[in-house]
Amino acid sequence: MARSLPFHTAKRGAPAVFHNNDACDEGKRIEPVNWRAGDGGFPVCRECERRNGAARPPRVPARPREGVVRRVDH
């Protein structure tokens, strides 16, 4: 399973997070009557974040090209 469009629950007392991975166990337990599209302004669920991170290769920092000077603001 993979990433999906964000969704969250409207159920009171439920964790205030959004889900964006079809394989998330917590997201699968949301009852259809409480299911809402979008992130609801909440942070991403930890399980979704973990699953999404495991699905992609590790990020390699870009190396600056020869002769290119990067500006650093302090």
Q: How far apart are CA 74 and CA 40, in angstroms?
A: 34
β-sheet bridge partners, residue 46: none
- Which is more confidently placed, 1 or 71? 71
Q: Which two tokens stand for residue 10?
A: 């409207």
> Residue 73 is inside which H or E element, if any?
none
Q: How far apart are CA 1 and CA 41, in angstroms?
A: 24
Query: What is the model's pLDDT at position 46?
Result: 95
Question: Using one digit for the tens of pLDDT, what is the confidence trace for 16-62?
Answer: 999 999 999 999 999 999 999 999 999 999 999 999 987 555 555 55
From the CB of residue 17, how many other CB atoms can be counted at a distance below 10 Å?
Answer: 20
What does pTM read for this prediction?
0.69
